[in-house]
Amino acid sequence: MLPTKPIQPSCTSEHGELEAVLLCSPSVLDVPDLQTAEDVQWNAPVDQAKAHESFASVRDTLRAEGVHIIDYSTELTEEESQLSRQLINRFFVRDLACVFGEIILPGEPGISMRRPEYIHAHRLLETWFPKQFHITANNNMPALEFGDCLVLNQDAVWINVGLRSNITSVDVIKDTLFQAGFSEIGIIDLPRRPDTLHLDMNCNVAHEDLILSKSYVRYFPLHVLTRSGARYEMPEQFLKRHGFEVYWIKDCKTVPDINFLNVNPETLLISKDAHKQMLTRHDKLHKKNIIEVDVTELEKGGGGIRCMTLPLVRKAT
């Protein structure tokens, strides 16, 4: 549901207070067996009745925290809705677009079966935010899914060009990001495997000055772009320079442990299947308000809570 007062998209971090977020309810189609799940690149069969219960838990929890929810599936035309209801990946809205400062850039899917979702969501975003949404930015992009992007702060963006995103796409949007006020873009090229599908399945911002990351990421150099040139740095060097300590972890469950959502600087929304103790043992996290929700059925699609949420407004910190 759209707010009665127009919202102004704005995001310059992953941890500021979340004020408005785009969601999409799951499909009506079950994924009935393991073979079908493998064929559509999911991890396990999914019962959509259970998936809708999980989605409602995420939606209602965010609403209880004061976040304005927009479920874009309720804003589609009847013709669009007839198709959209059958798109099993549609609840993974993070990939569709991203708010960088005061602008919104559209994504481009890395697989063709997701293309209709992008078209539906982009039409709505262009309608709602005609000044902020740069629809033409993806005209020459081969692929860019924003699960591969972390907006670290008002100066730096971190992007993975692995399995679902392409380095050419970063070249297309880099000048727009610099014009939006960002000074550096760190590009990493992670292994092309299902468990490293997106950047946010490998690392995430857990606190205003803390990144939680799989330990292997430290070995992959970043190509750092600036207005005046480029250079290479290791991830820890890049992140430390932008004010982040890195909490390296070796043993974790890819989706529930990494793919959490910052609701505000004090609160994390995590999966009930996450290793809560892994988070709370760090000095900067043990006092966090941690809210657990059951998203097990949705996680079978290969993504987690962060994948299911597209922040439109985060309060500046």
The pLDDT tens digits for 190-242 are: 999 888 889 999 999 999 999 999 999 999 999 999 999 999 999 999 999 99
Comparing 279 with 202, the larger pLDDT belongs to: 202
The pLDDT value recorded for residue 6 is 81
Lowest-confidence range among 49-63, 68-82, 130-144? Answer: 130-144
Integer CA distances (angstroms), 233 to 85, 144, 209, in order: 44, 22, 19
Q: Mean pLDDT, to the nearest integer, of 270-299? A: 94
Q: Mean pLDDT, to the nearest integer, of 12-24? A: 98
The pLDDT value recorded for residue 317 is 74
4 falls in which pLDDT band (50, 70, 90)?
A: low
The pLDDT value recorded for residue 2 is 67
The pLDDT value recorded for residue 285 is 94
Statement: residue 1 has pLDDT above 80: no
Statement: residue 109 has pLDDT above 70: yes
Q: Specify the pTM.
A: 0.95
Of 157, 247, 252, 134, nearest in space to 196 by CA = 252
Statement: residue 305 has pLDDT above 90: yes
The pLDDT value recorded for residue 5 is 65
Phi/psi at 71 (5° precision) = -95, 105
The pLDDT value recorded for residue 3 is 63
Instruction: Write the CB contacts of 6 (distance below 8 Å, at least 6 apart in sequence).
Output: none
Cα 129 to chain centroid, rounded: 20
Statement: residue 108 has pLDDT above 80: yes
Give the pairing of strands 245-249 and 210-214.
parallel
Using the 8-state DSSP alphabet, how is residue 83 labeled?
H
CB 200 within 8 A of CB 307: yes
Classify the phi-psi angles of 101: left when phi > 0, otherwise alpha if psi is within -120 to 50, otherwise beta.
left
